[in-house]
Structure 1
């Protein structure tokens, strides 16, 4: 009888331990990564890249802080206290959702009320350097993120030429395996271009992704443009990008 009781108690302890550690393990697999060099935000859930969104960041590089932070609050239709504009008002520059991050040294505030990821009433600013430090998103995108991102997950902000997969590996985020089709870029690319956007283009074209727009990439782009009835000029502008990512 005593042995049965000991086995029962041990089972309860082990079960409790599993239940206690599961949330921590889940948190390690969820993260937000923001790359200011291309103004994009990646959301990782269950260790996998779920979606990448275009964003707007600070007007100068030092306005949007870089480093590892934490998502500490979430607010629907947050008021714009500075101008007394209520939440949900079309004039409100914070848009539909606010996800606050705790940035040490932000005038003593670490509660997520100074720097945040939020919507906007200026959608034309997305993809540019336009904010006073926050990260702007389209309202429909920030609502999607708001509904999925849990509080206390890490938020990494950087300026890098690395892909999100490489950044996630560096940060130790989950399995760091990308979901095909969610990488994209906004800039126009041509022969001689370099960087992460070129690597994304090369992956879309199923060629070596060395980040250098050379003869092989030029040939592949022209072939793709011809197949889509586009002008085969080798320049990856808005029409070619649209065809690439709607393919």
Structure 2
């Protein structure tokens, strides 16, 4: 019975699978995991940026240059036996499959999600999550074979595009959203500022069990110990007062 149900769900998803259409030469998607932002370029110009959710661990969401290889509306969630279009479906109602790590758009994708609170965080098993209404808009713009660059960088989107061999022309249609320079750092975050926090704590004798740019349990524990020693609010969050005490800008 279970095999029959999976077969029916697969058949339904194929009904909504879109035939390939070539992407325009100047179209591109960039995903920056350092600030969990996605940029969509059309005709070599930045059109929109979006907040996204990426992998719970840095290795989960692959980095490199890929392509959108399939587009599916209302894809079923096979492992949970949840049909497409169901409000319980964690894949939302739009799926833009990416050919990462030798897969063909069936494992990694830019897709919607039924938990809006997860967008912006490091939360997934490897896919890139978007708000449903925003991925619906992107789905309508993007064609199969659109290039996708996934990276972890402090550079602007235009600089990332140039570094990957893409020519950006004219002024961006919307401002590039750069990583904040004075972020409140907390568990689950990652990036250069987290690495700076870990270095500052380590220099003062508070062990973060590595300086890897990932704010995990060990970094949180080190922050709490430092806060307690400095008679600050002990919450494990590196806000302005904690960062100032550590000598961070």
TM-score, normalising length: structure 2: 0.62
The runs of 5 or more residues in structure 2 that have no matched partner are 1-20, 184-190, 194-239, 241-249
Give 1:127-146 correspondences, 5 Å limit: 127-146=120-139
Match of 2:216 in 1: none
Give 1:21-40 correspondences, 5 Å limit: 27-40=24-37
Match of 2:226 in 1: none
Matched, 1:64 2:67: no
How big is the shift at 1:169? 1.3
The runs of 5 or more residues in structure 1 that have no matched partner are 1-22, 197-234, 236-247
SS in 2 for 1:82: helix
Larger-gyration structure (1/2) = 1
Measured in 2, the distance between the counterparts of 1:118 and 1:79 equals 12
Measured in 2, the distance between the counterparts of 1:182 and 1:129 equals 24
How big is the shift at 1:182? 3.6
Query: What do you get for the CA RMSD once the two structures are aligned?
Result: 2.6
How big is the shift at 1:187? 5.6
Aligned with 2:41 (options 37, 41, 44) = 44
TM-score, normalising length: structure 1: 0.62
Instruction: Answer whether contact 2:68 2:105 (CA < 8 A) is retained.
Output: yes
Match of 2:101 in 1: 104
Instruction: Answer whether contact 1:34 1:41 (CA < 8 A) is retained.
Output: yes
SS in 1 for 2:68: strand
Measured in 1, the distance between the counterparts of 2:55 and 2:64 equals 15
Aligned with 1:126 (options 103, 119, 126) = 119
How big is the shift at 1:54? 0.3
Match of 1:202 in 2: none
Measured in 2, the distance between the counterparts of 1:112 and 1:130 equals 20
Match of 1:90 in 2: 87
Measured in 2, the distance between the counterparts of 1:27 and 1:180 equals 18
